[in-house]
Every structure is written in structure tokens, then in C-alpha cells.
Amino acid sequence: MALGAATGGLPRIVLVIGVAGSGKSTVGRLLAERLDWAYRDADEFHSEADRAKMAAGRPLTDSDRRPWLEAIGAWMDRTIAAGGQAVVTCSALKRDYRNGLLAGRPEVLLVYLHGSRELLESRLAARDGHFFPADLLDSQLAVLQEPEPDEHPLVVEIDQPPEAVVAAVLSLMPGESAVGTPPAESPGPTGATWRLVRGEQSAVVVQLGGALREYVVNGRPLLDGFSAGSAITGGRGQLLVPWPNRVGDGRYRFDGRSLQLPLTEVEKSNAIHGLLRWTLWRLLARTEDSVLLGTTLCPQPGYPFLLDVRVEYRLGPDGLSTAVHATNTGTEPAPYGVGQHPYLTIGTDLVDSAVLTVPARYLLRTDDRGLPDGWEAVDGTPYDFRTARPIVELRLDTAFTGLDRSPDGRATVRLAHPSGRHGVDLWLGEGTRWVQVYTGDTLPEAAERRRAVAVEPMSCPPDAFRSGTDLTVLRPGATHVLRWGLSPWGYS
């Protein structure tokens, strides 16, 4: 269903930008169809000489591009003056190029399609009959200046079907409200609730903290989460931003300043699991099998930094994937770490009989406050789970690193049923240097102890704000990404 050009609050022009292979043309056309607007591709404004030059493998110079950009700008002005609305796609890789298209045109909205180099390369390699050779990607990436916050871009990841990209753009556009997407379930103590469905899989995400409440495959729950109408306990499914685990005494030094965080694990005098667990996140995009939520971490005592944080959950053919993006939208560097706290279950009453695999070569020793007390190799210790074995009575609240990864860059923690017939893999992708494994022995409610295994992807270890170990320093405008997911097996 088209939205119609009379829809209030919308821009006059949507400028979709990105490097070759980002899907600008496909997304632009689909977006124009959904809005019932005109569509133009910036390639149409190239001269024949420019086309021949690119086809010969020679990148255009700024002198080549100047009349091209001027032609696009003139077309925008004519469209706006005539009261029309349109979508136009253009690479616009440099800030100067975008300034020429955006300056003096407040009616133009910028949309940036972002993707990894590997994804872009694979898309270009699959092209047939396009005049842009794949080997020019290097030249585009070399000159790319990603949009900065003052350009007010809508940034959308391209590692999803074009229809989902368009849904994300529509939901982020001024005057839009998650157009054509399924509604949220009624709010409860954890705010609005969104159910994702794909085939035999379903997942539930809540507004409070952007937490993952449940993940079910063929009717069998693979997460020990929390029920509708219940509060979140034990950190279940919560996002841990801007640090995972603990900061001893809540006190740390950064960039010459001494900073004090609120003590949220009072009995041990620690600040635990970040600042966003009890924040209501906002809906940014929604499809049947995905949801994108976001929030702003504002400067505050103990953390005087400004971050834009987003999380996307998506059901795919291989399971559930999660991506957490944090961008420093402030004016000074910020210390940053991130993690998440899902509890895995494979249907046993207790975790003792569950078979665990953790592909890690090192563990972090901790004291009775849960703070680091040194590293050691797992060799010869009860914590060596590189070969699958039952947990038995071992109490785990242990951070592991030195992760062995497959050629695709992922490390996989596996929890298997003692029968060996089914289980769930938690894969650790981009941004995950550590994983915490916790058997729940110290949870306040006795009935919750050892009934599931928390497997927590983390970018850094406990107390990284004080030790600096694997701590990310986010420069202004920089973005950190953490990716992890769940792959069930044996449930068909």
C-alpha cells in the first residue's frame, strides 16, 4: 500500500547514499514505491564520458563529479519548487559532495546504507552486466567519509533483505511510525513487547532495557527468560552497556579524570552491568522476524559521555542473530564495553547433566567480589571445556578469553542435552573478545539456581574500566559493533 505524497511531516526528497554494492538502487526504488513518490538514480545524471571512464576501471576525479552533482542538485530544486516528492540514490562518498546536495535544502533527508567490506565485495562479485567493476570498490572505500551526526543521517544496515531495509528507513523517517509493521503487544512491567516469528522459531523482545525475553524453536524454549507480566531478575536477557560485569568500587580514571559510578551491587561495593538495563528503549524498525530498538545514553555523574545505542534482533534460517551498535555522538572520547546476559536451557531440570563446550584457552581468576585476580591457562583446570563434557557440580561464574574461532571469525559455545540429540550453539562474532559463563549459583532465589547457564558475550572482561584490558575508547563519531547469536540444532 502506498503512503501517498500528502502524508504530513515527510521530507520532500530522500537522498539514499552508500558505496557500490550497498543496494542503493534496489532500496531507492522500493522506497519510492512504498511512498508513491518519483524515483531517480544519480547514475542517470552521469555524462557518457563519465560512464566510459568508470567502465574502463578509472575512478572519476572531483572535476568529473562537479557537474554531475550540480545536475542532481538542480533536479532537486526543480522537484521541490514544483511541490513534488522523490527518492534519489547517489554514492556521495565525501562530505563535500553531500554538502553540495544538502546545503540550503532542508527538505532533503539523508539515508546512509552501511555494510561490511566482505558483504559489499560479495554483492559486487555477483553482479552481471553492471558498468561498475568490482575492483573499484577499493577506490570508493578509500575516499568514503561516513556521514557524521551533524548531517542527521538515518543509518541502516544492509545485511538484511531489501524489504527489511526499506521498513527500517520508513520507521525512522520523520512523520512515519513503523509503517506496515506488526504492532507491539500490550505494555506490562517491562514496557512494550514485540514478538518475532519465522517458521518454527519465535522470540520476544521487551522495551525495558531492550532485553531478550524468550526464544522458542518448535515449541521448546531455549532461553530461561521471564514471563509476561513479570519483572526481570538475574539480568535475564539484558543488554550491558557501557560496560559488562563489574567496576570495582565504581571508581575509575579516564582521560585524566577521576570518575565515580553509582554502586549497583552494594553488598560488594561494585557498579555492575552498565547504565541502560532499566531504560525504556524506543522502536526504530519492525518486521515480522526482526526488530530494531534504540536509546540515548546521556552524560551523567560517573559517565559524562554521549552515546547513541541500537540493538537489532533478527530471526534467520539458522537461528537468532543480535547486533549491538554504539556510536559516540559527543565531543570527547568515551570508554566503552558491552555484553548481553542470556540464560540457555536445553530442557534439563538442572545444568549438572548438560554438556558444555567453551572454545577458550584462558580464564580470568576473580576474588570474592567478582573482580579480576589474574589470568591463567585452562589447561589442567576443572574449567577446561574445550572438549565437550558435563558440567556436573562445578560452579561457574567465569570469564573466558583466547577464543578459538572458525574461518568465518566466529567462536561457538555449545550447550547440549545429555542425550546428544539436541542443543543450542551461542556464536560469538564481531566485537566479542570474552565470554562469561555462569551457572546461577548465587542468584537470590534458590529455585532459579543452576536451572540454566548464562552465556554472556562480552567485548571486555570484568573491571575493564579500571584495568583497561580490551577496553574500547570510542572517538567522537566512532561506532562499536557487537554481534552474537543462537543456532539451535536437533529440534526439527
The mean per-residue pLDDT over the stretch 264-278 comes to 97
Residue 181's pLDDT band (boundaries 50, 70, 90)? low
136 within a domain of the structure (yes/no): yes
Identify the domain boundary among 149, 172, 195: 172
Question: For residue 234, what is its C-alpha cell?
Answer: 538475574
Which pLDDT tens digit goes with each residue over 410-452?
Answer: 999 999 999 999 999 999 999 999 999 999 999 999 999 999 9
The mean per-residue pLDDT over the stretch 359-364 comes to 98
Which pLDDT tens digit goes with each residue over 228-266?
Answer: 889 999 999 999 999 999 999 999 999 999 999 999 999
8 within a domain of the structure (yes/no): no
The pLDDT assigned to 8 comes to: 43
Q: What's the half-sphere exposure (Cβ side, CA atoms, 13 Å) at 423?
A: 20
296 in the same domain as 148: no
248 in the same domain as 165: no
- Is the CB of residue 402 less than 8 Å from the CB of residue 348? no
Domain that holds residue 38: 13-172
List of residues 6+ apart from 81 with CB closer than 8 A? none
254 in the same domain as 154: no
Which pLDDT tens digit goes with each residue over 277-325?
Answer: 999 999 888 888 999 999 999 999 999 999 999 999 999 999 999 999 9
218 in the same domain as 87: no
Domain CATH for 61: 3.40.50.300
Task: Report the C-alpha gap between 348 and 217 in whole angstroms.
Answer: 16
163 in the same domain as 269: no
84 within a domain of the structure (yes/no): yes
The kind and range of the H/E element at 71 are: helix 62-81
Give the pTM.
0.71
The pLDDT assigned to 175 comes to: 57
Single-letter code of the amino acid located at 341: H
Angle value at C-alpha 402, between 401 and 406, nearest 5 degrees: 115
